[in-house]
Amino acid sequence: MFLVKPQLILQPKHLLSKLLIGCMIMAGVNSCPRLMVVSDLDLTMVDHYDSENHSLLRFNALWEANYRHNSLLVFSTGRSPAIYKQLRKEKPLLSPDITVMSVGTEIAYGESMVPDNDWVEFLNQNWDRNMVIEETRKFPELIPQSETEQRPHKVSFYIEKDKAGEVIKALSESLEKNGLDFKIIYSGGIALDVLPHGAGKGQALAYLLKRLKTEGKVPDNTLACGDSGNDAELFSVPEVYGVMVSNAQEELLQWYAENAKNNPNIIHATERCAAGIIQAIGHFSLGPNTSPRDVPHFSECKPDNVNPGHEIVKFYLFYERWRCAEVEDTDPCMENLKVDYHPAGVFVHPSGVERSLHDCINAMRSCYGDKQGRKFQVWVDRVSPVQMSSDTWIVKFDKWELSGDERHCCITTVVLSSKGADASDGFTWRHMHQTWLEGWGGKDHSNWLF
């Protein structure tokens, strides 16, 4: 599976299709993706009013436990690459398979964010950025946004709500007079973007779906998620389910009332942000919709979603709860846990030191509640299981830990084997190996725990 990328680079003719397929193979998606979630970030996936990131972490656990291995995650944001990357450092966002940035004007694939140059070429048609700048200068009400947000196919401003309607009308007229194919989008009651006519989040999604179709990889279902004006287009793409999160902006709700209120495939959730996305997955019956974070005791969590991804999510959730004293500290609890770890199993710490898995469990026992009342959050990203034989899996993932203000990440590899003939009886952990993710390493090597 790790061979996909180099091959891609050797075959420029089919580069983009291969990149798409590459994304899926890396995500473990060999057939059609079961679900493609296409989500806006600010105030949709990310709730800026929730400093604990509660609903985002709920979504993350649901995605990694149930969808990562057979589905596609697409972020579609108004942010430029620069401030998108900034957000990823600030919030516990998962790694998307595809990133659409700058209001559908930039598409990038995979973790290394390889740009889609075909899309760039397409947007160049009849787009004259200089002319847009010249014309917009005539409107003193338009306050230019920061330099980072001015992109090759996006010219962005701020404008107050009460002036927006009039200015949009007059600006459209003057751009039309100049023969430009453009599009003006107003979002969040404050931001105004001028884009090429063929750009926008909806057009970018339609383009991605078309590409997937060419490869015979159309997702079984697609769910678009948004909260503001630039997301409206996502909901107009044919055959797409849509969720406007409960906290959606006025301009999106108005668009819905005027254009889509009879479409049963679009809902206005009663839950905010990522919780609204989970709600929509349930509402449209798109697949499992119980986040492992909402399951207090995992003994209750059987057996339709037994897969290596779920096993990993479940363990780290227990680990977080254990250290926060949110589960009971009982002997049976630890003994039960030990049963899942092979007596000869070894854990290799990022420092290179090895310890038996049973020693690590014992060490964990003595750390019960050491993070109680403090900020301590653990989440996993990019969980990718590879089945090695009928009963063995190698699972690679990023394990993130936020403790107070410090955030670390370990690239982790685990070898699991099924207890019974298949995975329905659960897994035994046989081996674990961690290395620091570059730039996210820890200084404190006394932390021996997983």
Nearer to ligand GLC, 70 or 105 (CB): 105
* Distinct helix (H) and strand (E) counts, the chain: 13, 18
Distances (CA, A) of 278 to 163, 243, 252, 354, 375: 36, 10, 20, 39, 24
The interaxial angle of helices 273-283 and 54-66, nearest 10 deg, is: 40
* Cβ proximity of 256 and 268 under 8 Å: yes
Binding status of residue 64 toward ligand GLC by CB under 6 A: no
Single out the residue of 116, 149, 227, 311 in contact with Mg ion (rule: CB under 5 A): 227
Binding status of residue 291 toward Mg ion by CB under 5 A: no
From the list 246, 226, 290, 270, the residue with the least C-alpha distance to 58 is 290
Binding status of residue 40 toward ligand GLC by CB under 6 A: no
Distances (CA, A) of 42 to 247, 274, 350: 11, 10, 34
Binding status of residue 401 toward Mg ion by CB under 5 A: no
Query: Which neighbouring-strand residues pair with 241?
Result: 223
Binding status of residue 93 toward Mg ion by CB under 5 A: no
* Cβ proximity of 321 and 398 under 8 Å: no
Shortest approach of Mg ion to residue 115 CB, angstroms? 23
Residue 156 interacts with, from ligand GLC, Mg ion, none (CB under 5-8 Å by kind): ligand GLC
Single out the residue of 21, 36, 37, 43 in contact with Mg ion (rule: CB under 5 A): 43
Q: For Mg ion, which stretch binds (CB under 5 A), given 41-49, 147-155, 171-179, 414-422?
A: 41-49
Binding status of residue 116 toward ligand GLC by CB under 6 A: no
Single out the residue of 71, 105, 136, 145 in contact with ligand GLC (rule: CB under 6 A): 145
Site map (CB under 6 A) of ligand GLC, residues 244-283, x = contact: ----------------------------------------
* Cβ proximity of 310 and 298 under 8 Å: no
| Helix (H) / strand (E) containing 243 | strand 241-244
Query: Which neighbouring-strand residues pair with 400?
Result: 379, 409
Site map (CB under 6 A) of ligand GLC, residues 92-111, x = contact: -----------x--------
Size of the site for Mg ion (CB under 5 A): 5
* Cβ proximity of 117 and 107 under 8 Å: no
- Which residue has its beta carbon closest to Mg ion? 42
Which residues form the interface with ligand GLC (CB under 6 A)? Answer: 78-79, 83, 103, 145, 149, 156, 187, 191, 193, 230
Which residues form the interface with Mg ion (CB under 5 A)? Answer: 40, 42-43, 227-228
